[in-house]
Amino acid sequence: MASRVDRAGRRLKLRDLDVFMAVAQAGGMGRAATRLHTSQPAISRSISALEETLGVRLLERGPHGVEPTEYGRALLDGSIAVFDDLRQMVGRIESLADPGAGEARIGTTTFLAASVVSAVVDRLSRRHPRMTFVVLTASGEALHRELVQRNVDLLVVRRFTAGDQEKLRFELLFDDSFVVAASAQSPWARRRRIRLSELANEPWLLPPPESVASQVAREIFRASGVDYPRPTVVTLTAEVRMSLLATGRFVTILPESVLRLPLKRADLKVLPVALPPTRVPNGIVTIRGRRLSPAAERFLECTREVARCPAQ
């Protein structure tokens, strides 16, 4: 006689699981129907079919709309894994048919995107011109969520703490240091030695107060015995900082890797300011036990290669 698990396995439909995920993520059947371009009665039928098959209630009304029950949360986690495994399986089949193709989905921060990740994309796209790279930049908390929901294959980030560390694996790539930088055309670029206090009244480009980069920068100023400067521009966006630095008017403090990857920038210069030693661990975060697609594996190996030997 077939067990309950066997019977459920035969009756569960991917379409119904997809509908359930949409309802759980949208917080309502009407919003899920709009997202899936179908009707609300069709959504209700799929949820009812799942609840009948599993014999439990999957959704309940909460203060913010429809929310998964305890059983629903278990099904949601499993559904995310099922669709991820399906996506990875298709990727492996595509790789067998065309070993040089495939898609790698990377989550990272804006500065690591402009440095390490760009260096990896440049190197890997030369070797495999048919590969596609999807690069998502966000804050640490948002990136963690994207990885857990399996919307990205891996993260290239600074080490961070999260509530489910037992499910995640951090692989150290390199320790980064922070430097003070300006345009190569800045008058400060001609100096052989600069005290950090001398730059106090310069126009500073600084990260937002709530960011990890700001915490590191504030600690550097504190350890140097210098008051944290009043910023002229506050931004986490690498492109904004690089563009404004190039005008020759601004100074900033940023990770040293940004100035050497993917290529060493001749238009910017590290100023000769003696800073307290600061090492920030950067690495790769993956989900333990998750099998990556061949394209993501190639990205992972190339990232290790770039960390070992940045120069082409």
2, pLDDT greater than 70: no
Instruction: Give the start-to-end residue ranges of the domains of the chain.
Output: 4-80, 101-175+281-308, 178-277
Length of the chain: 312
**Could you check whether 4-80 and 101-175+281-308 share the same CATH topology?**
no
**Amino acid identity, position 294:** P
4, pLDDT greater than 70: no
133, pLDDT greater than 80: yes
What are the C-alpha distances in Å from 135 to residues 49, 88, 108, 111, 275?
Answer: 37, 18, 7, 12, 32
Residue 24 or residue 206, greater confidence: 206
What are the C-alpha distances in Å from 238 to residues 133, 177, 199?
Answer: 19, 17, 21
9, pLDDT greater than 90: no
Residue 9 or residue 112, greater confidence: 112
Fold of 4-80: Arc Repressor Mutant, subunit A (1.10.10)
Q: Report, as an integer, the average pLDDT of 88-93.
A: 77
Contacts from 223-227 at CB under 8 Å and sequence distance 24+?
223/276, 224/196, 224/197, 224/275, 224/276, 226/196, 226/197, 226/200, 227/200
pLDDT for residue 20: 86
> Per CATH, is 178-277 categorized as 3.40.50.1820?
no
pLDDT tens column, 252-275: 998 888 888 888 888 899 999 999
> Per CATH, is 101-175+281-308 categorized as 3.40.190.10?
yes
pLDDT for residue 1: 40
Q: Report, as an integer, the average pLDDT of 119-124.
A: 95
pLDDT for residue 88: 76
pLDDT for residue 312: 59
Residue 13 or residue 298, greater confidence: 298
pLDDT for residue 311: 65
pLDDT tens column, 187-243: 999 999 999 999 999 999 999 988 888 888 999 999 999 999 999 999 988 888 889
pLDDT tens column, 51-81: 888 888 888 887 777 888 898 888 888 888 8
125, pLDDT greater than 70: yes
Residue 311 or residue 185, greater confidence: 185
